[in-house]
Amino acid sequence: MGACQGHLFTCFAAALASQALLGTFQFNMTLIAPKASRMNPMNWVKRTFGLQGLTELGKSILKVVLVGAIGWWMLSDYAREIASLGTEDVGNAIAHTGRLAAVFLLVLSFGLVVVAGVDIPLQAIQLMRKLKMSRQ
């Protein structure tokens, strides 16, 4: 139980730190309260099929394609090595599998860092556009 609490605390601290690094360290309890206006189906349709919804859909598709392409590239590059794991003795095969998993996770997470490096400025630009005041 103690190890689980440690991981939960680490995740909670990472969530708070990510908000603080983006410069928006706020917690608003009123956002949790239910609102009847949020249940309007027309608002959902506008939000889903509007420009921002379609932009988010495009970004999500690109993320899946990027991570899938990196995974495919890694699997095809290491296919012989993965196939030869069955010929190794159990101890070496487990250690080898651990090293391969670490390499895979590192390369895939680097791909997600690239996605975040592109996504964060885009989100900031969208927010500035949304907050921009109109001329009078």
- Determine contact, residues 66/111, Cβ cutoff 8 Å: yes
Question: Is the pLDDT reported for residue 96 higher than 90?
Answer: yes
Q: How far is residue 116 from each of residues 26, 65, 94, measured CA to CA in Å?
A: 21, 15, 32
Which of 12 and 4 is assigned the larger pLDDT? 12
What pLDDT is stored for residue 15 in this prediction? 81
pTM exceeds 0.85: no
* Mean pLDDT of the 1-27 span: 77
| Amino acid found at 25 | F
What pLDDT is stored for residue 2 in this prediction? 63
**Helix extents (H) in the chain:** 2-21, 41-49, 51-77, 79-83, 90-131
Burial of 79 (0-12, 13-18, 19+ CB in 10 A): exposed
Average pLDDT, the chain: 84
Q: Which long-range contacts (CB under 8 A, 24 or more apart) does 125-131 make?
A: 126/52, 126/55
Give 23's DSSP letter.
Answer: T
Q: How far is residue 122 from each of residues 30, 50, 58, 71, measured CA to CA in Å?
A: 27, 17, 13, 25
Give 134's DSSP letter.
Answer: P
Hey, where are the domains in the chain? 53-131
Question: Is the pLDDT reported for residue 134 higher than 70?
Answer: no
* Mean pLDDT of the 100-115 span: 92
pLDDT interval class at 52 (50, 70, 90): confident
* Mean pLDDT of the 37-50 span: 76
Q: What is the pLDDT of residues 61-92, one digit of tens each?
A: 988 999 999 999 999 999 999 999 989 999 99
Give Cα 118 distance to the centre of its chain. 12
Q: Which of 58, 82, 77, 74 lies closest to 111, judged by CA?
A: 74
